[in-house]
Amino acid sequence: MASVIQTNEKQIVSYNPATGDEIGRVQQTSDNDVRAAVARSRDAFHMWKTTSFAQRRALVMKARVVILNELDEIAHLISAESGKPFGEAIAMEIAPVLDLMQHFAKKAERLLKPRRVNIGLYATMGRYSKIVYHPLGVVGIIPAWNYPFSIPLGETVMALMAGNSVVIKPSELTPVVGEKIGDIFEKAGAPANLVQVITGDGRTGAALVDAAPDKIMFTGSVATGKKIAAAASKNLTSVVLELGGKDPMIVFDDANLQLAASAAVWGAFCNSGQSCSSVERLYVQEGAAKQLTKLIVEKTRELKQGAGDAEDISIGAMSSERQLRMVEDHVEDFRRAGAKIEIGGKVLSTGLSRKPPEGGIQNLFYEPTVITGATNEMRAMREETFGPTLPIATFKTEDEAIRLANDSEFGLTASVWTRDYEKGRRVAEQIEAGSVCVNEVLYTHGIGQTPWGGFKNSGRGRTHGAEGLMELVQPQHIHINRFAILPDAWWLPYSPEAVKTFRGFATKFASGSLLRTATLMPQLFRRIRELLKK
């Protein structure tokens, strides 16, 4: 990979993918050190789980202050190590995670409050049930490089608010941003070993899974997700998997086409298309295809591309040579299959000088590329591209649009564009994806209050929202009998009287009807009397 070079077995050097400048060096953590980190984390957990929500909130809010004090410095680091524009690092990583932090700092206590459960007719027997939520223990976080700050930090905050300790293994492409997260918690005064960052490549990630944390939160490819799920099963470690996407955008001919075109350009090209929820396929109704394509091409032409630290840059470098090669391969596939490249379709040729790491290519800027005449039969319409490409296909009817959108192994997000909200809602509910927007695109990962996760091969489990918080706790059912003076009718020994009562339970009590259950009372008393005599 070009933006990271392993100088030896023990060290990783991180480079700026736009300039080739070295960002920093981190160690390749050994398996023994990973195990030791997890053991230290477990000790930290035993202390942290006894803290109050107020104490946890105080730590998270202090970490927010550290981030706000260093906002520009952090944004420049994210931009330098991942290639994304500086402004985008603030808009799409720092701002959303600051919002997530305040939300869970303030709301986790209420979301995890013990709650009574309606136990139906059992309550008439003087019992009640409540659920209390316990933390899990050590949470291992293995993120990808595309949102190297907001994804692991958001998951860390949620895990801490639930009472867990955390070990983060950042991507080998963005290890310095990963270390920054550890630094933020240190500056915020976090107890020792509560948040640890262990750097390294996939081997370090595998060692973390093997060290049997109590939960793995993974973001990355389907292939690695499967490996992690298999390895985690050895210890019955549960995993949340945030995997790939091939997210469709459906534009009906009654949509606001100006808005839809701008949304498509942002949804496909922000972060150089390296978002799991990027628009990877656009389906437009035939009547609007010409106009929408024209608008998209015009808007694409206006985008300025270059090193991400300048404020007027919209499209930065891709994060790695491997990712750029994948885009080249997919664009070539579109060409070969007869689709038309309307704009872009190649590595940017002008003005950008990068000192390529040994063996690396000259530049990692791929032009934002709009393609028409795409069909679902083309390979590049089926595999995740993860790059700045926007292939456009057409449809005739609502049913056809839904069928084309669902014709994928993935199901992370989707968007539907129409002025008819009823149609938008109807179509949205038929799309097989974890989040579907009507007249919006891509950004809902930024709403930490809402669940995030995929259908089909896009993942398992949820991050964010109340559902995501529930992934980080184990519910305990407490059942109390406040009328503990009589035996239960179903206790031993059994007898013909007992069997008669059980039949009554099946036919009356289990109906859920108080009236029908009342007719069981004489039989119930006979059975209880029988038990009391024994």
- Where on the chain is the footprint of ligand TXE (CB under 6 A)? 142, 144-146, 169, 171-172, 201-202, 205-206, 209, 219-221, 224, 227-228, 243-245, 276, 323, 326, 384, 386
Quote the tokens at residue 338: 């007869």
Min dist. Cβ of residue 67 to ligand TXE (A): 22
Quickly list DSSP for 77-135: HHHHHH---HHHHIIIIIHHHHHHHHHHHHHHHHHT--EEE--GGGGGGTEEEEEEEEE
Report the candidate in 461, 454, 447, 450 with the shortest Cα–Cα distance to residue 432: 454
Quote the tokens at residue 246: 């091939």
Name which of 221 and 474 has its Cβ closer to ligand TXE. 221
Min dist. Cβ of residue 130 to ligand TXE (A): 38
Whole-angstrom CA distances from 217 to 152, 234, 239, 341, 464 are 9, 16, 6, 38, 12
Quote the tokens at residue 462: 């949820």
Min dist. Cβ of residue 229 to ligand TXE (A): 10
Whole-angstrom CA distances from 198 to 140, 193, 202, 208, 382 are 10, 11, 12, 9, 35
In the set 276, 383, 437, 471, the catalytic residue is: 276
Rounded distance, CA 509 to CA 280, Å? 54
Burial profile 159-185: b = 16 or more Cβ within 10 angstroms, e = fewer: bbbbbbbbbbbbbbbbbbbbbbbbbbb
Could you tell me if residue 459 is left (phi over 0), alpha (psi between -120 and 50 degrees) or otherwise beta?
left
How far apart, in Å, do the first and last CA atoms of the chain sit? 77
Beta carbons of 184 and 77 less than 8 angstroms apart: no
**In terms of DSSP bridges, do strands 215-219 and 238-242 run parallel, antiparallel, or are they unpaired?**
parallel
Beta carbons of 116 and 130 less than 8 angstroms apart: yes
Whole-angstrom CA distances from 23 to 81, 333, 353, 365 are 7, 34, 17, 19
Name which of 17 and 244 has its Cβ closer to ligand TXE. 244
Min dist. Cβ of residue 225 to ligand TXE (A): 7
Non-local CB neighbours of 309 within 8 Å, separated by 6+ positions: 76, 79, 80, 86
Name which of 222 and 348 has its Cβ closer to ligand TXE. 222
Active site residue 437: no
Largest Cα separation within the chain, whole Å, is 96
In the set 242, 342, 367, 471, the catalytic residue is: 242
Min dist. Cβ of residue 447 to ligand TXE (A): 17
What are phi and psi for residue 319, nearest 5 degrees?
-75, -25
Quickly list DSSP for 323-367: HHHHHHHHHHHHHHTT-EEEE--SB--SS------TT--S---B-
Name which of 163 and 225 has its Cβ closer to ligand TXE. 225
Min dist. Cβ of residue 267 to ligand TXE (A): 14
Name which of 276 and 401 has its Cβ closer to ligand TXE. 276
Name which of 104 and 386 has its Cβ closer to ligand TXE. 386
Name which of 15 and 48 has its Cβ closer to ligand TXE. 15
Min dist. Cβ of residue 446 to ligand TXE (A): 14
Active site residue 242: yes
**In terms of DSSP bridges, do strands 215-219 and 138-142 run parallel, antiparallel, or are they unpaired?**
parallel
Rg (CA), the chain: 27
* Nearest residue relative to ligand TXE (C-beta): 205
Name which of 318 and 473 has its Cβ closer to ligand TXE. 318
DSSP letter, residue 141: E
Non-local CB neighbours of 348 within 8 Å, separated by 6+ positions: 305, 363, 365, 366, 367
Min dist. Cβ of residue 228 to ligand TXE (A): 5
Min dist. Cβ of residue 48 to ligand TXE (A): 24
Min dist. Cβ of residue 309 to ligand TXE (A): 23
Name which of 301 and 322 has its Cβ closer to ligand TXE. 322
Name which of 285 and 415 has its Cβ closer to ligand TXE. 415
Non-local CB neighbours of 208 within 8 Å, separated by 6+ positions: 34, 38, 140, 142, 167, 169, 198, 216
Residues noted as catalytic: 242, 276
